[in-house]
Amino acid sequence: MNLPNKLTILRIFMIPVFLLVLLCPLGIDRQIARYVATAIFCIASFTDFLDGYIARKYNLVTNFGKFMDPLADKLLVCSAMIALIGIEDAIVPLPSVVVIIIIAREFIITGFRTIAAEQNIVIAAGIWGKLKTVCQMFMLIILLLNIDNVYLTAAGNILIYASLVLAIVSAADYIFRNKQVLSD
């Protein structure tokens, strides 16, 4: 197993640790637990960038990586969003309807990619999808930190709705650019 695939597996194993620290701080001060959870989330997110970079640079792309890397990314982001819905002390609450729409988008695009793969069509990520991912990562970091600051509160609210809009726009762009997949 190559290094990029090991990083993907590490990211998957970091998800339950992240959730445990965030949701069950086990006697640790709640805000400190949030900082630790945020650090774990950031490290896990960085492994997403790092495994892709290493795989492309050293030609270590594998079928396992093509399947598991996006799955690990979706598991990390969706887990964080779902966990944030029910947190009572959230300075910027994450509306469940936003999370539902974003996760629905992920299911739709995953299904679309599956259909494309069956037709031997490889679909590259577009700029809108990349912007969506970056926006979601920053949104989640700000919401996880839960710092009572007027600028971070405003940024958190803006990023929630920017993530929502980018999720919808990127899905529409993804399907429109590859509409031939649905032509049969």
Looking at 30-34, 70-74, 143-147, which range is the least confident one?
Answer: 70-74
pLDDT tens column, 159-178: 999 999 999 999 999 999 88
Q: Residue 116's pLDDT band (boundaries 50, 70, 90)?
A: confident
Helices (H), the chain: 3-23, 30-57, 63-85, 96-118, 127-145, 150-177
Residue 146 and residue 88 in contact, taking contact as beta carbons nearer than 8 Å: no
Residue 15 and residue 76 in contact, taking contact as beta carbons nearer than 8 Å: yes
**pLDDT of residue 151 exceeding 90:** yes
CB neighbours of residue 30 within 10 Å: 11
Rounded to an integer, the average pLDDT of 89-118 is 93
**pLDDT of residue 114 exceeding 90:** no
Residue 144 and residue 84 in contact, taking contact as beta carbons nearer than 8 Å: yes
The conformational region for residue 27 under phi > 0 = left, psi -120 to 50 = alpha, else beta, is left
**Predicted pLDDT of residue 66:** 82
Q: Would you call 56 exposed, middle or buried from its count of C-beta atoms within 10 A (0-12, 13-18, 19+)?
A: exposed
Q: How far is residue 169 CA from its own chain's centroid?
A: 16
CATH 1.20.1270.10 fits 1-87, yes or no: no
Domain boundaries, the chain: 1-87, 90-184
**Predicted pLDDT of residue 122:** 76
**pLDDT of residue 93 exceeding 90:** yes
Looking at 36-45, 48-57, 122-131, 156-165, which range is the least confident one?
Answer: 122-131
Residue 66 and residue 23 in contact, taking contact as beta carbons nearer than 8 Å: no
pLDDT tens column, 50-83: 998 999 999 998 888 888 988 899 999 999 999 9
